[in-house]
Amino acid sequence: MPPREKIFHIYAKDRCIFHSLKEDEFQRTWNQLNSMVGLMKTDYVAEDLSYEEVFPLMEDQRGPAGGPSY
């Protein structure tokens, strides 16, 4: 069985702002967000940003492959 690719969800405070990102897309987005909150006047600071790593269920694990994990 091939290894499962993990996906990422990014949160600002308790709100999911990006979901189901592949690792390369997550890295770009995460870096951009962290740069933006430091430079721009927003309601958020770097400490408000968080992320979650998720391994989606495979078809044979009683769930749809690649479906939303939330």
Question: Which residue range is the domain that position 27 belongs to?
Answer: 7-56
Query: Is 63 a member of any domain?
Result: no
Q: Is the pLDDT of residue 8 over 70?
A: yes
Q: Domain count for the chain, please give it.
A: 1
Helix (H) and strand (E) counts in the chain: 1, 3
| pLDDT tens per residue across span 12-43 | 999 999 999 999 999 999 999 998 887 887 78
When the pLDDT of each residue in the chain is averaged and rounded to a whole number, the result is 83
Contact 69, 7 (CB under 8 A): yes
Residue 44, CA atoms < 13 Å, CB-side half-sphere: 19
Contact 11, 17 (CB under 8 A): yes
Contact 14, 53 (CB under 8 A): no
Query: Is 42 a member of any domain?
Result: yes
